[in-house]
Amino acid sequence: MVSSNMAASVLKRCATAAVKVKSLSPSLSARRWLLSAAYTDSKMWEAREKDPQNLAVLANTMDRTYDRNLPVSSLIMSRFVDNISSREEIDQAEYYLYKFRHSPNCWYLRDWTIHGWIRQCLKHGARDKALHTLKNKIQYGIFPDDFTFNLLMDSFIKDADFKSACSVVEEVMLQEAFDLPSTQILSLYALGSYLATRPQLAVSEERALGASLLICGQKQDNTIGLSAQLLGNAFLGKVENLKGIHAVFKGMPLFWGRGYLGRALAIMERVAAASSDVKLSKDTLGYVNDLLHDLPLTSESDSSGEESGGEEDKKENTVDEDDQAEAAKLPEYVKKFKELNSQLESQGKVESTSFQDLVTALAQQNLAAAETPDLEQYESRVQAWEAEKRQLIQREKEMREKAEQEKQERLAAMAAAQQV
């Protein structure tokens, strides 16, 4: 019933080591669209061979196929997404993406369909849908490549929606897709800009930000990268202290060993012992100091006042004796932090430039160069997608011809049998 209504609705419409930076205007950097026009231009994508389709016909075909418990081909889903022309049709496509994901062909949603879906959402003012399907990727099958991640992240950064941009960074982290320097730079910029607003964070948000900072920061062995790792470990250490280690690594690509606050201090020790001019940013150290003093001196995971509720949360928040032993080390960690902080200051290894300004400078200095190989790779990828699509179309044509031939042979045999 829902699917027929859906079809009817369609028918009705027919990074550098230590970065020296000048003073930057926060308002100017907040509005800055980081990726160049060449990077975000859809001309190459729109230049692909067109395959005009009637969405009502495609919707009806999919509905009838699903009603017969047969698989819908990835080509039909691809054609539907490619032919979206309005915001309303975005909603229709979301429904069929969900249906496809829960069908026998769920593993065959094409990479170009995912890329096209995100582009269509951006084109028709539906970033909310793009982010919704991304965050619910298991239900929709939306697992973008790094270039597609960059486009969506940059779109949020353009409008200074750093919270949503960090939601995209979280998905990059979950897919462990920080391979491109451009993705690393955009992610660090989004994280730094969001943290500069000093948002009030729930434990689950601190966990996501911590993991994103830590994993992205590990890609850069410099002041920015180490500062990100320091704060990332501190966020995760806070979650560990309040909720136990299982609440930290469950569903995350993280090390499951206890002692994230200890690892944060190990970063400080590493910088203090380094012979290079690598530093830690002053505001990052201040953030860590605040996190440590926000923690109770004894573990109060059951009364921390943070989100608790469902069975899933209760399982994650189980604190065992080992977790309690780790939480009991907090006074020791606080004392050691003060000592290391003083040591770093005496060695001149505290960077006065804020983390936000450091990542802004990194973007301004390095992002343009990082775009060039991305665009070359994207062009090759689009060509490969088009070649693969042509092969699928040819195979589809051959199967239809074979099916028609078999049908005609059956009809001829039936006619001959009737004459006899």
Do the beta carbons of residue 193 and residue 166 sit within 8 Å? no
Q: What mean pLDDT value characterizes the chain? A: 88
Residue 62 has pLDDT above 50, yes or no: yes
- What are the domain boundaries of the chain? 53-143, 156-296+321-375
DSSP of 272-333: HH-SSS--EEHHHHHHHHHHHHHS-SS--GGGS-S---SHHHHHHT---HHHHHHHTTHHHH
- Which tens digit of pLDDT belongs to each residue from 155-173? 999 999 999 999 999 999 9
Average pLDDT over residues 349-373: 96
Helix ranges restricted to H, 47-110: 55-67, 74-82, 87-101
pLDDT of residue 18: 37
Q: How long a stretch of residues is the chain?
A: 420
Q: Whole-model pTM?
A: 0.87
- Which tens digit of pLDDT belongs to each residue from 172-216? 999 999 999 999 999 999 999 999 999 999 999 999 999 999 999
Phi-psi label, residue 308: left if phi above 0, alpha if psi -120 to 50, beta otherwise: beta
